[in-house]
Amino acid sequence: MNQNILDPTEFIDRATTLMKSSYVFTRRIISALYFSLFNYWAYKTFHDQGIKGKGPNHDKFDHKDFSRTLIENNLGPQIVLLYKYRVLVDHYLLDPNIIEVWDKEVAKIIREDKIKVNINESILEKIINSAKEILNWLKYNY
């Protein structure tokens, strides 16, 4: 299997041009950006680094390990932003919605207007740029 077969460079370029064409495209492409990077990371982990995952073929990897790898390598804001929005578009329906704060005691401290978010032009730019920064790191440094 070609080492670069899951390199999402072209996908990300083409997908981001379609991102604003309709609301369904926007939501689905946010999710696809995340998963294209996750797949690429898993593929490089398996092939380039020789690390075994789970499952009968040892090719199933955890999202937590993907995130932790990026966090460890100075891409915390990029993966946190992308993951939070990926969860919003895959698991929640309403827009605007809220960024979930898990710890109830912390959630009580933070005002609701601080966690209310929507999908707008500005956030799409941040998501696209974050995806590209993660891609570059995976491509050239991982």
Partner 1 sequence: MAVITQKEQNNMNISLAFITQKETISKKFDEIEQLSSWLNANYNSSIKELIDELIKQSLLIRLRRYTGEATIEKLSEIANSEGLPFLTELLNLLDDLREKYGKYGGPYLDCVFDDETGELMYFVAIFQDAGWEEWKEIESYLKLKQTYTKKYLTTLCLKAFRE
Residue 67 neighbours by CB under 8 Å, 6+ apart? 79, 83
Which residues within the stretch 90-109 sit at the binding site for partner 1 (CB under 8 A)?
90-91, 99, 101-106, 109
Contact between 26 and partner 1 by CB under 8 A: the answer reads no
Instruction: Report 4-23 residues binding partner 1 (CB under 8 A).
Output: none
Q: Site for partner 1 (CB under 8 A): how many residues?
A: 36
Quick count: other Cβ atoms within 10 Å of Cβ 70? 24
Q: In the complex, what is the shortest distance from the CB of residue 139 to partner 1, in angstroms, rounded to a whole number? A: 20
The answer to the question of residue 124 lying near partner 1 (CB under 8 A) is: no
Phi-psi category of residue 99: left, alpha or beta, with phi > 0 → left and psi -120 to 50 → alpha: beta
- Smallest gap from Cβ 116 to partner 1, in A, equals 7
Burial of 42 (0-12, 13-18, 19+ CB in 10 A): buried
Q: Which residue from 2, 49, 72, 112 is in contact with partner 1, where contact means CB under 8 A?
A: 72
For the chain, the straight-line distance linking the first and the last C-alpha, in angstroms and rounded, comes to: 19
Residues 104 and 110 sit within 8 Å (Cβ to Cβ): no
Do residues 37 and 131 lie in contact, with contact meaning Cβ atoms separated by under 8 Å? yes
Which CB, 1 or 111, lies closer to partner 1? 111
Check residue 123 for interaction with partner 1 (CB under 8 A).
Answer: yes
Residues forming the site for partner 1 (CB under 8 A): 62-64, 67-69, 71-72, 74, 76-77, 79-81, 83-84, 87, 90-91, 99, 101-106, 109-111, 114-117, 122-123, 126
